[in-house]
Structures are given as structure tokens and as C-alpha cells.
Amino acid sequence: MFYKTITTLFLSLAATAGVSSLIAFACGSRPGADAPTATPGTTVPIAETIKAENAFPKLSFSQPVEFTHAGDGSNRVFVVEQTGVIRVFDNNAQTASAGTYLDIKKQVASGGEMGLLGLAFHPKFEQNGYLFVNYTKDNPRETVISRFKATSAGTSTIDPATETVLFKFRQPYSNHNGGKILFGPDGFLYIATGDGGSGGDPRNNGQNSDSYLGKVLRVDVDASDKGNYGIPKDNPFVSAGSGKLPEIYAYGLRNPWRISFDEQGRLWAGDVGQNKIEEIDIIQKGGNYGWRLREGRSNFNSDGSKPDMIDPIWQYTHDNGDVSITGGAVYRGPANASLKGKYIYADYASGRVWALTADNTPTGGKATNQLLISRAGSISAFGEDAKNELYLCNHSEGKILRLSSN
């Protein structure tokens, strides 16, 4: 069934976007992934050996797409399975079982790029028991941003009946649903959305400020001016009127499947490209990241207008079998001193993992890139534990990996 979904997706993409190769699908597919087709630029191997090792060798997961913790001092970690299940277990390499924390398979439509795609615990979870998810559903096909509530912070399961929907919006196609949600240092919830799918963004959602699609959104989950959430007062379109959505934080994105904050509060995004270019962006409030007028630093479907657009800090082409970026995080864990301060990311299809070095300015300056690992598997996501150690989700093998240097 999974294969069929992929094949169907490919056919629809091929029909609408002129996709020219089957390479990516031979490698499988994950929710943020996309069709095939890199200038590695100045990428160089790192001086020491970095390996990806199985962090929890006694555990296996079904299509993991998220790894996180609750910030509650419990030493628990959580893995999101795409089909609609959140697993919970003690953060110990010898842990032999992972319980079911939340099961919402009934309302989640999964497969291909759909599913339960994101999880974020409220910064005050220990007090209020709130956790937030991002999933796709059918009939009609929509993205849903919901809150669930733990009866107490330490409870081992969440009742699905505690769901409160914050908001939802239509998904015109099954692909490019974004997925990541996370709280920023400002306490607001950030939501990465895709352009709605097909190929080439046929409705130009990325550039349209009346669409939730192709954006980073930012909302206040502790306010109620929009019902079950509110709008941060300094969101870019709060006072713009004319139908522009006040939830929008940044736009012009294609499928920023994974986004993350670094220690200095910069928001990083890996934006999956169309047929040629994968990119890394540092997201600024109100920024236009180009899509569909631009793919990476190249024109894509330019309509002659020249709005202010922000180029990626880094991009790579599809020339070497890298075809679908998985955005990572700036490393701040205790285990690998040589990686400190570098943005670690991967390509889902090739399995390559890289470290990008930027400066500390808001735009990151002129970055340099290092190849860390040649084949780490189908990495769908990166996540951190309470000590800020970084983990990688291997989607097809159902493993959680961590980096080690020797």
C-alpha cells in the first residue's frame, strides 16, 4: 500500500510537474520528501570520523518522523510515528519497551507525505499538561493543528478525547504538507506548512498572503482572540488588512518540512526543492523566501515581479543523487564537541549528513559545508533530548540514531 501511494504520488507529480526520474522513489518516500533530481559547492569531509549509531538498539518504530522531550525533568523522550501514534520511553540506551502515549490513528490520514507529522510540548507542560500536534486528515483533506491534555505531567497515556482543535486548513493535494511545529524562545508556536502540493505550486500559494500554505506560521497558544489561540501582536500582517492572514510569520516556502531554533534564537529551515535545488534558510519575520518565483538562488516561475526575496544561506543541487533535504538543527549537545555550533542536516534520498558552519549574524553570513556521513539511511527528522543531544530518525528502518565521534 505504501508503495502504491508512492507510485500514485509519482504519477500525479510527473503529470503536473514533468518529473523526470524515478530515483527518489526507488529510495522510498517520507512526508516532507519529494521527487528527484546538487552544487556541493565547497563541501569538504570533516577531519575526524563521525558515525551514526543506533541510540536505542532494543526499540523499533513505525516510520518515525519526530523525536522530542517534554521539558518536564522526567528523562522521557517521545517518538512520533507517521501513522498517528506517539511513543514514550525512558531516555536510556538499554530501554527495552516504548509505550503508546497517544494514539490518534482513527482521525489521521497517513501515507506518502500525509500523517501525524509534528509534536510540541507546551513550555509549561509540567504545569498545564498541554501538548500540540500537526496532522493531516481526509474528508475533507486538511491539516489540523490540535492541542491535547495530559491529566498530569507524569501520566503515561493521553486520552484522545482531550483534543481541542486550534485551527485547520485545506490541503489541495496530498503532498507538501509541511509538518514541524515547535515553540520559539518567545513562547509562541511556530508551524511549518508546505505549498499544498502537486508540483510547481500551481496556485502560487507560497507568494499569496491569503493562504496558509507555503509559510511559517506563528500563533499564541495562550491567547484566545482567534478562538482557541491568538495572534502575536508583532506578526507581520497583523495590521495589514486586505485579507492577509495574521498567522503568517514568513512566506515563499515550498515544503519546509523541518524547522528548528538555535541557541541565539535564529529559526532554521530546510526547504525541499522542486526538480533541481534543495535549500537551507534562516527565517526572518516577514521574510519572502522566493518560492515559486525562485528555486534556491535560481529563477523558477518568475512572473516579472521583483519582490524583496531572501536567498538561502546554503543550497545543493540534485546532480549527485541528493534530492530531498531534511532540515536539522544547530548542534548543542554534550557528546560531540567538534560539531558544536554547526547546523546538522541530511538528504532523505542519499542518506548523506552534513554540517554547515555559519557566523553568528542574523543571516549567518557566508556558510561553509562539511560532509559528515555518506550513508546514514532515510533520515526523516532530527530532534533533541532534554540535554540537547541530537538524534536522527531513520524513517524506513524505524530506528533512532545519534552521532558519535572517535
Do residues 337 and 48 touch, judged by C-beta distance below 8 A? no
- Strands of 244-378 (E only): list them: 248-251, 258-261, 267-271, 277-283, 294-295, 298-299, 314-317, 325-330, 343-347, 353-357, 368-373
Do residues 289 and 66 touch, judged by C-beta distance below 8 A? no
Separation between Cα atoms, residue 298 and residue 292, nearest integer Å: 10
Least Cβ distance, residue 294 to Ca ion (angstroms):
5
- Closer by beta carbon to Ca ion, 296 or else 351: 296
- Closer by beta carbon to Ca ion, 66 or else 281: 281
- Closer by beta carbon to Ca ion, 118 or else 273: 273
Do residues 150 and 122 touch, judged by C-beta distance below 8 A? no
Least Cβ distance, residue 151 to Ca ion (angstroms):
43
Least Cβ distance, residue 292 to Ca ion (angstroms):
9
- Closer by beta carbon to Ca ion, 66 or else 295: 295
Separation between Cα atoms, residue 137 and residue 116, nearest integer Å: 9
Q: Please provide the size of the chain in residues.
A: 406
Describe the strand order of the beta sheet including 64-68 as a list of residue ranges. 64-68, 76-81, 85-90, 99-103
Least Cβ distance, residue 301 to Ca ion (angstroms):
12
Least Cβ distance, residue 243 to Ca ion (angstroms):
24
Beta-strand relationship, 277-283 and 267-271:
antiparallel
- Closer by beta carbon to Ca ion, 289 or else 331: 289
- Closer by beta carbon to Ca ion, 56 or else 289: 289
Least Cβ distance, residue 314 to Ca ion (angstroms):
11
Nearest residue (beta carbon) to Ca ion: 290
β-bridge partners, 121:
131
Beta-strand relationship, 368-373 and 44-45:
parallel
Least Cβ distance, residue 290 to Ca ion (angstroms):
4
Report which secondary-structure segment, H or E, holds 365. Answer: none
168 Cβ neighbours under 8 A, 6+ residues apart? 137, 142, 143, 144, 145
- Closer by beta carbon to Ca ion, 115 or else 290: 290
Q: Under the rule (CB under 5 A), what is the footprint of Ca ion?
A: 289-290
